[in-house]
Chains A and B, each alone.
Chain A
Amino acid sequence: MAGKLAWGFVLVLAVLHYDFWYWDDRTLVFGFVPIGLFYQAMISLLAGLAWFLVVRFAWPSKIEEWAAEG
C-alpha cells in the first residue's frame, strides 16, 4: 500500500508539473525568483522526496538474487 502511495505521489507531481496557472505570472518570490521558476524548482525538490519514498516502499526486493544467479 505504501508503495502504491509513493507511486501516486510521483504521478501527482508529473501532472502538477504542467502549471498553466503561472504561465503569464511575473510575481517575484523572495523578491528575486520569478514564480514560474520557483514553482518548478519546488517540483524538482519534491521529486527527490517522491523518489525517496518509491525507493523506500516500492523496491524490487528479489532482483538482487535473480541477477546473482547468472
Chain B
Amino acid sequence: MTPALIQAGQAAEAASLTPLLVVGGYLGLLLILGFVSTRFFRGTSNDYFVATRSIGPFMLLMSVFGTTMTAFALVGSTGKSYEFGVGVYGLMASTSGIVHSLVFFLVGIKLWAIGKRHNYVTQIQYFRGRFQSNALGYVLFPILVALIIPYLLIGLIGAGAVAKAVTRGMFPDTFDGGAVPPWLTGLVVSGVVLFYVFLGGVRSAAWANTFQTCVFMVMGVVAFFLIANKLGGVQAASEQLLANAPEHAAREGMIGHWQFLSYAFIPLSVGMFPHLFQHWLTARSAKTFRLTTVAHPIFIMIVWAPCILIGVWAAGAGIEVPTANAILPKTVVTLVQQPVITGLLTAGILAAIMSSLDSQFVCLGTMFSNDVVLHLAGKDRFTDAQKLWLGRGFIVFVVAVTYVLSLLYPGNVFDLGVWSFSGFASLFPLVFAAVYWRRVTAAGALASVLVMAAVWIYFFWSGLEAEGEYLVFGLMPVTFIFLASIATLVVVSLLTRPPNAEVVDRFFAK
C-alpha cells in the first residue's frame, strides 16, 4: 500500500461500535476471572499481601512478565521504533532480556528467601531490618512512592489515549470528536482493576496478570501479521521501509554508541520495583524462579520484535501521527479496518497496561498499610481482619489519587517513564549491597539514597527543556545518577563503623 493510499485510509476511519463491544467483552471476562480468583482467597492479610507465598512457576512467570511489561511494551516500543528505528530493540529489549533475568537470579531469589525467613511483605520492612534504621525507611518510602506514581500515570493516560484513537467517530453527538474521552476510559480501567484487587489482593492480581499476559502476547503477534498482510506481506513492507525511510533500518544517525551502552543501566530498575518485590515474595519456593529466569528474555523477544517491525514499517509506509506513541493504534485503525480485530488489539494494549496497574495498586496499598500505619501503631494493635481491611482501604485511596492525577497531568507521560526507571535503577546498588555486602552500613545506605535523589532531581530539571532524548556527554543521565549512588554507598560505608555482626548474620546464609 502506498503512502497516498494510506492518507486516504486515514480520512475514512470506521465509526463502528464493534471495537468497543469487543473491549467491553474483554473487561467483562476480566471481572469474571477476578471474581473466580477470589474463590481461592484464604481471607488472611498474609494471603492478601503475598498470596501466602504459594504461587507456582507458570503464574509467577506470567505475573512478573505482565507486571514488567507496561503500556510501553506495545505502544511505547512501536512509537520509539517509528521515531528511532530498529536499534530500539537492542537499546531496550535484548538488554532487558539479559539484565532482568540476572536481577531475578541474583537478587530476586535471595530476597524471596529473606522475605520468607523474616516474614516480610514490603521492601522497606527488609531495609529497616537489614540496616536497623527507621530513618532509612522514612526517607525511602516517599522516594519509592514518588517514582512509582509516574509509572502508574503511564498506564492510565496510555489507556485513555489508545481508547480515544480507536473510538474516534463512534459518538459524534455525545463526546468531543466522537471519541470516548480519557476521563471515562481511566474511570472504567481503574474501576475494573480495583474490583479484583480489592477482593483478592495480590493473588487476584496474579490470576488476572496470567490472563492479561496471554492476551497481549497473542494480540501483539496477531497485529504483526495483519499489518504485514495489509502492507503486501513482510518482504514488501520491509522493501518499502528501505525505499522510504532507510535510516530506520539501522542505528547510524538514530542512536549513539554511548547512548546504546549506557542504556544498559535502565533494566537494573527491576531490582528496586516495589511491585515486583511483592510478586517475588509470592513464590512457592526458590525453584519457582527457574521458569521466570529462563523464559523472560524469550517472552521479551516475542512481544518486542513484532512491535519494533510494526513501528519501522509504519515509518516506511508514511503513516503520520501527532506523537510517536499514537502510531500503533493509528496503524491498526488505518490499515486493518476490521472492527473485531481492532477491538481485540485494543484489548491487548489494555491488557498490557492493566497487568502492571493492578500490581502497582496492590503494592502501594500494602506499603501504606505495613510501612506507615502498622509500623507506627504496632502490628499487635490490629487483628488480622483489620490489617486486611486497612490494605483494602489504602488500595481504594491509591486508585482514587492516581485517577485524579491522571486527569490533571498534561504532558507526554512516556517522557516520565525513563525518569522513573532511572530513579529505580539508581537505587539498585542499595539492594545489591544489602544482599551481598556485609560491610555496608545504615549511614552508607541513607547517604546513597539522599545523593541519588539529589542528582536525579538535578538532571530531571536540566532535562525539562531538552528536545528529543536527553543525553549528557552522549550518555543517558542514569549513568551519572547510578555512579553517584554507588560511590556514596561505598565511601560512606567504609568511613563509618561496621554494622553489628549479629544483625548481619541473620540476613546471610552460613
With A and B bound together, what is the CA distance between A16 and B65 in angstroms? 24
B260-284 residues at the A interface, CB under 8 angstroms? 260-261
- 0/1 interface trace, chain A 11-31, chain B, CB 8 Å (1 if under): 001100111101111101001
B60-100 residues at the A interface, CB under 8 angstroms? 86-87, 89-90, 93-95, 97-98
A56 to chain B, nearest CB (A): 9
A30-62 residues at the B interface, CB under 8 angstroms? 31-34, 36-37, 39-41, 43-45, 47-48, 51-52, 54-55, 59-60, 62
Task: Please tell me the number of chain A residues within 8 Å of chain B, measured between CB atoms.
Answer: 41
With A and B bound together, what is the CA distance between A68 and B87 in angstroms? 45
With A and B bound together, what is the CA distance between A23 and B94 in angstroms? 15
Count of A-B residue pairs with CB < 8 Å: 137
Contact yes or no, B309 A37, CB < 8 A: yes
Query: Is chain A's interface secondary structure helix, strand, loop, or mixed overall?
Result: helix
A45 to chain B, nearest CB (A): 6
Contact yes or no, B251 A31, CB < 8 A: no
- Surface stretch bound by A, among B1-9, B24-32, B291-299, B468-476: B291-299
With A and B bound together, what is the CA distance between A38 and B118 in angstroms? 45
B452-475 residues at the A interface, CB under 8 angstroms? none
Contact yes or no, B93 A51, CB < 8 A: no
Residue of B whose beta carbon sits closest to that of A26? B249
With A and B bound together, what is the CA distance between A14 and B98 in angstroms? 7
- Surface stretch bound by A, among B107-115, B128-136, B492-500: B107-115
Q: Which of B90, B235, B239 contacts A17, CB < 8 Å?
A: B90
Contact yes or no, B250 A24, CB < 8 A: yes
Interface residue B105 (Cβ < 8 Å from any Cβ of A): yes
With A and B bound together, what is the CA distance between A46 and B9 in angstroms? 40
How many of chain B's residues touch chain A, expressed as a range? Answer: 35 or more
Give the chain B neighbours of A1 by CB distance below 8 A: none
Give the chain B neighbours of A32 by CB distance below 8 A: 234-235, 237-238, 309
Contact yes or no, B297 A51, CB < 8 A: yes
Contact yes or no, A54 B105, CB < 8 A: yes
Q: Which of A25, A33, A63 contacts B286, CB < 8 Å?
A: A63
- 0/1 interface trace, chain B 284-320, chain A, CB 8 Å (1 if under): 0111001001111110110001001100100000000
With A and B bound together, what is the CA distance between A20 and B235 in angstroms? 25
With A33-B309, A41-B94 as known contacts, state yes or no: A55 contacts B249, CB within 8 Å.
no
Contact yes or no, B246 A26, CB < 8 A: yes
With A48-B294, A62-B509 as known contacts, state yes or no: A34 contacts B286, CB within 8 Å.
no
Give the chain B neighbours of A23 by CB distance below 8 A: 250-252, 257
B311 to chain A, nearest CB (A): 11
- What are 30 A-B pairs with beta-carbon distances under 8 A? A18-B260, A22-B250, A23-B251, A23-B257, A24-B251, A24-B252, A32-B235, A32-B237, A36-B89, A36-B251, A37-B89, A37-B90, A41-B94, A43-B90, A43-B98, A44-B297, A45-B297, A47-B98, A47-B297, A47-B298, A48-B294, A48-B297, A51-B101, A55-B290, A55-B294, A64-B286, A66-B509, A67-B114, A70-B116, A70-B119
**Residues in B lying within 8 Å of A, measured CB to CB:** 86-87, 89-90, 93-95, 97-98, 101-102, 105, 109-110, 112-114, 116-119, 234-235, 237-239, 241-242, 246, 249-252, 257, 260-261, 285-287, 290, 293-298, 300-301, 305, 308-309, 312, 509-510
Closest CB pairs A-B (n = 3): A67-B113, A44-B301, A47-B297
